[in-house]
Amino acid sequence: MKLVIIDYGAGNIKSIQFAFKRLGVEAVLSNNIDEIKAADKVIFPGVGEASSAMKMLQESGLDAVIPNLKQPVLGICLGMQLMCNSTEEGNTKGLGIFNVDIKRFSNSVKVPQMGWNVITDLKSELFNGISENEYMYLVHSFYAENCEEAIATTDYDVKYASALQKNNFYGTQFHPEKSGVVGEQILKNFLNIK
Protein backbone atom coordinates (compact mmCIF):
# COMPACT_ATOMS: atom_id res chain seq x y z
CA MET A 1 0.00 0.00 0.00
CA LYS A 2 1.22 3.47 -0.84
CA LEU A 3 0.60 6.06 1.86
CA VAL A 4 1.45 9.70 1.12
CA ILE A 5 1.60 12.52 3.66
CA ILE A 6 1.08 15.82 1.86
CA ASP A 7 4.14 17.93 2.57
CA TYR A 8 3.27 21.55 1.86
CA GLY A 9 5.45 23.10 4.53
CA ALA A 10 2.92 23.09 7.35
CA GLY A 11 4.38 22.14 10.68
CA ASN A 12 5.41 18.93 12.33
CA ILE A 13 4.69 16.08 9.96
CA LYS A 14 7.52 13.89 11.21
CA SER A 15 5.33 12.70 14.11
CA ILE A 16 2.69 11.40 11.70
CA GLN A 17 5.30 9.62 9.63
CA PHE A 18 6.78 8.04 12.77
CA ALA A 19 3.36 6.97 14.04
CA PHE A 20 2.75 5.03 10.83
CA LYS A 21 6.26 3.60 11.03
CA ARG A 22 5.38 2.22 14.47
CA LEU A 23 2.45 0.51 12.73
CA GLY A 24 4.84 -0.94 10.16
CA VAL A 25 3.88 1.35 7.27
CA GLU A 26 6.36 3.61 5.51
CA ALA A 27 4.64 6.85 4.61
CA VAL A 28 6.10 9.04 1.87
CA LEU A 29 6.27 12.80 2.33
CA SER A 30 5.40 14.52 -0.92
CA ASN A 31 4.09 17.68 -2.55
CA ASN A 32 4.14 16.09 -5.99
CA ILE A 33 0.64 16.18 -7.45
CA ASP A 34 1.04 12.99 -9.51
CA GLU A 35 2.43 11.10 -6.55
CA ILE A 36 -0.41 12.27 -4.31
CA LYS A 37 -3.04 11.34 -6.90
CA ALA A 38 -1.52 7.88 -7.32
CA ALA A 39 -1.42 7.07 -3.60
CA ASP A 40 -3.75 4.49 -2.04
CA LYS A 41 -4.25 6.66 1.04
CA VAL A 42 -3.49 10.31 1.68
CA ILE A 43 -2.83 12.18 4.92
CA PHE A 44 -3.41 15.93 4.90
CA PRO A 45 -1.65 17.35 7.96
CA GLY A 46 -1.40 20.89 9.19
CA VAL A 47 -0.15 22.83 12.13
CA GLY A 48 0.12 26.58 12.36
CA GLU A 49 -1.96 29.44 11.03
CA ALA A 50 -4.83 28.87 8.56
CA SER A 51 -4.40 31.70 6.05
CA SER A 52 -0.68 31.09 5.55
CA ALA A 53 -1.24 27.33 5.26
CA MET A 54 -3.96 27.97 2.65
CA LYS A 55 -1.58 30.24 0.77
CA MET A 56 0.99 27.47 0.64
CA LEU A 57 -1.64 25.08 -0.74
CA GLN A 58 -2.60 27.57 -3.44
CA GLU A 59 1.00 28.23 -4.43
CA SER A 60 1.58 24.52 -5.02
CA GLY A 61 -1.78 24.02 -6.78
CA LEU A 62 -2.80 21.48 -4.12
CA ASP A 63 -5.97 23.43 -3.31
CA ALA A 64 -7.43 22.24 -6.61
CA VAL A 65 -6.13 18.69 -6.26
CA ILE A 66 -7.21 17.70 -2.74
CA PRO A 67 -11.02 18.12 -3.14
CA ASN A 68 -10.92 15.86 -6.21
CA LEU A 69 -9.01 12.96 -4.69
CA LYS A 70 -10.85 9.64 -4.91
CA GLN A 71 -8.92 7.56 -2.36
CA PRO A 72 -9.40 7.81 1.43
CA VAL A 73 -8.00 11.14 2.67
CA LEU A 74 -7.45 11.95 6.35
CA GLY A 75 -7.03 15.58 7.38
CA ILE A 76 -5.51 16.13 10.80
CA CYS A 77 -5.92 19.24 12.98
CA LEU A 78 -5.48 22.32 10.74
CA GLY A 79 -5.66 19.92 7.77
CA MET A 80 -9.23 19.05 8.80
CA GLN A 81 -10.08 22.72 9.31
CA LEU A 82 -8.84 23.65 5.84
CA MET A 83 -11.13 20.99 4.37
CA CYS A 84 -14.14 22.95 5.66
CA ASN A 85 -15.99 25.89 4.07
CA SER A 86 -14.21 28.67 5.89
CA THR A 87 -12.36 29.53 9.07
CA GLU A 88 -12.43 32.61 11.26
CA GLU A 89 -8.66 32.30 11.57
CA GLY A 90 -7.35 34.96 9.19
CA ASN A 91 -10.83 35.02 7.52
CA THR A 92 -9.76 32.16 5.32
CA LYS A 93 -11.82 30.41 2.67
CA GLY A 94 -11.33 26.65 2.92
CA LEU A 95 -11.44 23.79 0.42
CA GLY A 96 -15.18 23.34 0.97
CA ILE A 97 -15.13 19.57 1.28
CA PHE A 98 -16.95 19.56 4.61
CA ASN A 99 -20.03 21.77 4.74
CA VAL A 100 -19.21 23.48 8.01
CA ASP A 101 -17.46 26.63 9.21
CA ILE A 102 -14.60 26.93 11.69
CA LYS A 103 -15.08 29.29 14.64
CA ARG A 104 -12.87 30.49 17.47
CA PHE A 105 -13.50 29.33 21.04
CA SER A 106 -14.90 32.11 23.22
CA ASN A 107 -12.80 33.64 25.97
CA SER A 108 -14.93 31.99 28.64
CA VAL A 109 -12.46 29.09 28.33
CA LYS A 110 -8.68 29.04 28.00
CA VAL A 111 -7.57 29.26 24.41
CA PRO A 112 -5.97 27.18 22.97
CA GLN A 113 -7.59 24.05 24.30
CA MET A 114 -4.47 22.09 25.08
CA GLY A 115 -4.43 18.53 26.31
CA TRP A 116 -6.56 15.39 26.50
CA ASN A 117 -10.32 15.43 26.08
CA VAL A 118 -12.86 12.72 25.28
CA ILE A 119 -14.55 11.93 21.97
CA THR A 120 -18.20 10.90 21.92
CA ASP A 121 -21.04 10.20 19.44
CA LEU A 122 -18.68 8.05 17.39
CA LYS A 123 -20.02 6.95 14.04
CA SER A 124 -17.55 5.83 11.43
CA GLU A 125 -15.37 2.87 10.55
CA LEU A 126 -12.53 5.19 11.60
CA PHE A 127 -13.54 4.37 15.18
CA ASN A 128 -13.84 0.60 14.87
CA GLY A 129 -12.89 -0.93 18.21
CA ILE A 130 -12.81 2.48 19.92
CA SER A 131 -15.24 3.03 22.78
CA GLU A 132 -17.08 6.22 23.58
CA ASN A 133 -15.25 8.64 25.88
CA GLU A 134 -11.73 7.65 24.94
CA TYR A 135 -9.16 10.40 25.45
CA MET A 136 -7.50 12.10 22.51
CA TYR A 137 -4.82 14.79 22.42
CA LEU A 138 -5.94 18.17 21.10
CA VAL A 139 -4.26 21.54 20.62
CA HIS A 140 -6.43 24.15 18.94
CA SER A 141 -8.05 27.57 19.23
CA PHE A 142 -10.62 27.08 16.45
CA TYR A 143 -13.26 24.36 16.09
CA ALA A 144 -15.74 22.92 13.59
CA GLU A 145 -19.36 23.45 14.62
CA ASN A 146 -21.36 20.33 15.32
CA CYS A 147 -22.96 19.34 12.01
CA GLU A 148 -24.39 16.51 9.94
CA GLU A 149 -20.94 15.40 8.82
CA ALA A 150 -19.68 15.06 12.41
CA ILE A 151 -18.50 11.52 13.24
CA ALA A 152 -17.26 12.46 16.72
CA THR A 153 -17.98 15.30 19.10
CA THR A 154 -16.08 16.85 22.00
CA ASP A 155 -17.11 19.32 24.68
CA TYR A 156 -15.03 22.43 25.24
CA ASP A 157 -16.79 25.78 25.46
CA VAL A 158 -19.40 24.20 23.18
CA LYS A 159 -20.14 20.73 21.86
CA TYR A 160 -18.25 20.70 18.56
CA ALA A 161 -17.33 18.28 15.79
CA SER A 162 -13.97 16.73 16.68
CA ALA A 163 -14.06 14.46 13.61
CA LEU A 164 -15.79 14.75 10.23
CA GLN A 165 -16.50 12.49 7.30
CA LYS A 166 -17.91 12.95 3.85
CA ASN A 167 -17.56 10.14 1.32
CA ASN A 168 -13.83 9.33 1.06
CA PHE A 169 -12.80 12.35 3.14
CA TYR A 170 -12.10 12.08 6.86
CA GLY A 171 -10.89 14.70 9.27
CA THR A 172 -9.88 14.70 12.93
CA GLN A 173 -9.35 17.77 15.07
CA PHE A 174 -7.37 15.65 17.52
CA HIS A 175 -3.93 14.24 16.85
CA PRO A 176 -4.20 10.44 16.55
CA GLU A 177 -0.43 10.30 16.07
CA LYS A 178 0.01 11.76 19.58
CA SER A 179 -2.88 10.04 21.34
CA GLY A 180 -1.25 6.90 22.65
CA VAL A 181 -2.47 3.44 21.69
CA VAL A 182 -6.04 4.62 21.05
CA GLY A 183 -4.78 7.10 18.50
CA GLU A 184 -2.73 4.37 16.87
CA GLN A 185 -5.86 2.26 16.54
CA ILE A 186 -7.56 5.10 14.67
CA LEU A 187 -4.63 5.33 12.26
CA LYS A 188 -4.79 1.56 11.82
CA ASN A 189 -8.51 1.83 11.07
CA PHE A 190 -7.78 4.48 8.45
CA LEU A 191 -5.27 2.16 6.80
CA ASN A 192 -7.93 -0.58 6.74
CA ILE A 193 -10.58 1.51 4.98
CA LYS A 194 -11.36 -0.03 1.62
Partner 1 sequence: MLTKRIIPCLDIKNGRTVKGVNFVNLIDAGDPVVLAKQYAELGADELVFLDISATLEGRKTMREMVLKVAEQVNIPFTVGGGISSIADVDALLKCGADKVSVNSSAVKRPELVNELADKFGSQCVVVAIDAKQVAGEWLVHLAGGTIATELNLFDWAKEVEKRGAGEILFTSMNNDGTKAGFANEALAKLSSELNIPIIASGGAGTVQHFVDTFEKGKSDAALAASVFHFGEILIKDLKKELQNNNISVRL
Catalytic center residues: 77, 175, 177
Among 29, 135, 146, 147, binds partner 1 (CB under 8 A): 135
Minimum Å distance from CB 111 to partner 1? 6
Q: Residue 72 and residue 142: Cα distance in Å, rounded?
A: 24
Task: Say whether residue 110 binds partner 1 (CB under 8 A).
Answer: yes
- In this structure, the number of other CB atoms found within 10 A of the CB of residue 99 comes to 12
Among 83, 100, 177, 185, binds partner 1 (CB under 8 A): 177
String of contacts with partner 1 for each residue 138-157, x by CB under 8 A: -xxx-------------xx-
Q: Where are the beta strands (DSSP E) in the chain?
A: 3-6, 27-30, 41-44, 73-76, 84-87, 92-93, 98-104, 113-119, 134-140, 142-145, 150-156, 158-166, 169-172
CB 11 within 8 A of CB 47: yes
Task: Say whether residue 40 binds partner 1 (CB under 8 A).
Answer: no
* Chain positions contacting partner 1, by CB under 8 A: 11-12, 14-15, 18-19, 21-22, 47-49, 107, 110-118, 135, 137, 139-141, 155-156, 175, 177-181, 183-184
